[in-house]
Amino acid sequence: MMLSRSDRSGLSIWLWTIDKWIFFSFFTLLLLGIIFILTSSSTLELKLNKESYYFSIKHTIFVILSFFIAVILSKLNFHKIKFLSLVGFGLLIAALLYCLQYGSDIKGAKRWIDVFGQSLQPSEFIKPFFIIINAWLLTIWKSTQKNKFLFLSILSILSIDIMLLLQPDLGMTILITTIWIFQLLITGIPILFFISLIFVIPIVILLAYNFYSHVYVRINDFIFGTNFQANQALKLFNDAGYFGKGIGEGSLKNNLPDAHTDFIFSVIAEEFGIIVCLIIILIYTIIILRPLIIAFSCKDIFQILSLSSLSALIGVQSLIHISSNLSIIPTKGMTLPFLSYGGSSTISAAIVIGFLLSLTRKQIDFSEVNLDIEDYK
């Protein structure tokens, strides 16, 4: 694509400056998500006496909103991303506190709040904002060597983890803590401090196993192979073959209430086949590796930390979902970004993509473009 001096529309400039690998991978997953929700939610709509395409229509609305959010965020510079993240982080900490007292109790967990009749999960939204804030804190700590900024980083993750465990939400706790440790490792913390942090996660899991009944049940089901949902998903995954049973022909969605969320990857495997699953994994790999490749060429610590940890967030969450669907790990109730049903999950992942597009936008090579670089600043 070549741009002339006469072609200076905002859309043309935006299309030229964004990273197209990330954008089109994101766009492809959004479109695939609409198809997968359409085929995975039909049985649940009948069971809940919902009108036809109820979940598909809602998810399509989430997808459209997510697309525009990602586009808007992609136009922000570093300073605006930091300010937005600071405001968002503060509001979502308050929302997590509100959740503990007044949140909707669903399946024994208070993770949702009602906003204009729509259930929202603050823990989903806080992930990208926390990553940016923590990258900011660690960047200042690295450049100034003032330990108060490292202390603020530790205080922020402890605050989030405590509130998440009180909901309870062990899966989200592990996810966010893993990304935080990953950021510390990139920053270059002392090795002994890093090793001590590694032992924190199994200790948290052990405590959760002893104090939370649902964690106890899930781990025992995994160890003894008695989890009906996971066993069904794994069996049908193995029976899917290369091309699946056909759209709408799967039986997994008839047996599992969370087929369109926690087990969407198994539904995809059963109805569309292993080849489609491998293509999806390839698309996720592009979204994960592309920011990492760009980060390797960056000199700004904040940019390196943000790009690597945002891509790691997509990667770790996707890995947890796929691994639990394959019974490699206990079921975690973790959505697959862009493909699972859920407004909070889809919009949160879109925020991640928006930040990635913004942080990679200045890496585009302007040498072949017949425009002044100053026009883009």
pLDDT, one tens digit per residue, over 245-285 is 888 777 777 777 678 888 899 889 888 998 999 999 999 99
Distance CA 377, CA 1 (A): 20
* Closest C-alpha to 340, from 40, 46, 54: 40
Residues near 69 by beta carbon (within 8 Å), at least 6 away in sequence: 347, 350, 351, 354
* Closest C-alpha to 253, from 39, 58, 51: 39
Residue 375: per-residue pLDDT: 45
Name 294's bridge partners.
Answer: none
* Closest C-alpha to 188, from 142, 147, 242: 142
pLDDT confidence bin for 241, thresholds 50/70/90:
confident
Please determine, for residue 234, whether its predicted confidence score (pLDDT) is greater than 50. yes
Distances in Å between the Cα of 8 and the Cα atoms of 211, 363, 366 are: 60, 19, 14
Q: For the whole prediction, is pTM greater than 0.75?
A: yes
Q: What are phi and psi of 110, to 5 degrees?
A: -105, 85
Ramachandran area for residue 138 (φ above 0: left; ψ -120 to 50: alpha; else beta)? alpha
Tell me what percent of the residues of the chain surpass a pLDDT of 90: 47
Please determine, for residue 209, whether its predicted confidence score (pLDDT) is greater than 70. no
Q: What are phi and psi of 7, to 5 degrees?
A: -105, 80
Question: What are the tokens at 60?
Answer: 């399509």
Element (DSSP H or E) covering residue 37: helix 20-40
Q: What's the number of CA atoms in the CB half-sphere (13 Å) around residue 333?
A: 17
E-strand stretches of 45-157: 104-106, 109-115, 118-120
* Closest C-alpha to 160, from 104, 97, 88, 98: 97
Name 112's bridge partners.
Answer: 104
Residue 3: per-residue pLDDT: 47
Residue 377: per-residue pLDDT: 44
When pLDDT is averaged across residues 27-31 and rounded to a whole number, the result is 97
Distances in Å between the Cα of 12 and the Cα atoms of 15, 353, 362 are: 5, 20, 15
